Amino acid sequence: MDGYADRAHAGRILAAHLAEIGIDGNNAADLVVLGLPRGGVVVAAEVAARLGVPADAFVVRKLGVPGHEELAMGAIATGGVRVLNEDVVADLRIPLETVDAVTEREGEELARRERSYRGGREPPKLAGRTVVLVDDGLATGATMRAAVEAVRAQSPTRLVVAVPVAPPDTVARFKTEGVEVLCPLTPRLFGGVGQFYGDFSQTTDDEVRAILATAD
């Protein structure tokens, strides 16, 4: 497989692979599918529909290096979790006060998105349940790593990271950290997530809200 037509197509492929590892909706009451906004929510919605459960969002924000925001020096997630890419911080000699300033700014955006997406609804309870964390792909994995730590803090019985595409070293790193990862496409030549989609147009806040309103 060379790639995906769009995020919905990727979600259908993921759902089929999840069924192969025993996540097929037969125990829907114990299953939670969480998408990382924005694009991951579109993928998660398709996965959830195939499994017969609602989709929800799990808000995470990348901490971009000032002046090179596409490069992640870490990420934050719901619950006050912050994960730093120590190699990036050390190699670029980024001062702690810079990291803290970016964290504060992104924390405000994280809080805004939670209010916007949920509309006052409480997030799902994760304790004792199987949680599938979905994004439209991974690069460094910093954002997903923050999500994993935040979800683990809520004591699920099983946690699976399900993504359509990621470089092999990123997948391997998650697995060495004890994370169960499902990733159908792990190309050695990886220039970015978008290159493996025919349509990788930006997902809007309105689209995320519409998906969650339908799933509610």
91 and 198 in a single domain? The answer is no
pLDDT of residue 163: 98
Indicate whether 51 and 74 sit together in one domain: no
Q: Give me the mean pLDDT over the 12-31 stretch.
A: 91
DSSP 195: G
Are residues 38 and 20 part of one domain?
A: yes
At residue 216, the pLDDT reads 57
**Same domain for 139 and 192?**
yes
Local confidence band at 137 (pLDDT 50, 70, 90 cut-offs): very high
The answer to whether residues 157 and 58 touch, using CB atoms and an 8 Å cutoff, is no
Per-residue pLDDT reduced to its tens digit, 56-108: 999 988 899 999 887 889 888 877 788 888 889 999 999 999 999 999 999 99
Q: Nearest-CA neighbor of 79 among 43, 129, 34, 40?
A: 34
Task: Please check whether residue 123 lies inside any domain of the structure.
Answer: no
Domain boundary pick from 47, 82, 117 = 117
Predicted local confidence at residue 136, as pLDDT: 97
Q: Are residues 170 and 85 in the same domain?
A: no
Four-CA torsion 151, 152, 156, 159, nearest 10 degrees: 80
Same domain, 134 and 210: yes
- Are residues 144 and 54 both part of a single domain? yes
What CATH number is attached to the domain comprising 183? 3.40.50.2020
Residue type at 138 in one-letter notation = L
Q: Are residues 142 and 208 in the same domain?
A: yes
Do 207 and 149 belong together in one domain? yes
Residues 162 and 207 in one domain: yes
Q: Would you place residue 215 in the very low, low, confident or very high pLDDT band (cuts 50, 70, 90)?
A: low
**What percent of the chain stands above pLDDT 70?**
99
Residues 136 and 200 in one domain: yes
Provide the 8-state DSSP code for 66: T
On the question of pLDDT at 120 being above 80, the answer is no
Per-residue pLDDT, 91: 95
Same domain, 31 and 51: yes
Q: Name the residue range of residue 95's domain.
A: 62-117
Residue 35 class from Cβ within 10 Å (0-12 exposed, 13-18 middle, 19+ buried)?
A: buried
Pair of tokens at residue 178: 């004890």
**Number of domains, the chain:** 2
Is 122 domain-assigned?
no
Domain end, chosen from 96, 117, 138, is at 117
Q: Which residues contact 153 (CB under 8 A, 6 or more apart)?
A: 79, 81
pLDDT tens readout for residues 138-160: 998 888 988 998 899 889 999 99
The reported pLDDT for the residue numbered 114 is 86
End-to-end CA distance of the chain: 33
In which band, very low, low, confident or very high, does the pLDDT at 8 lie, cut at 50, 70 and 90?
very high
**How much is the pLDDT for 132?**
97
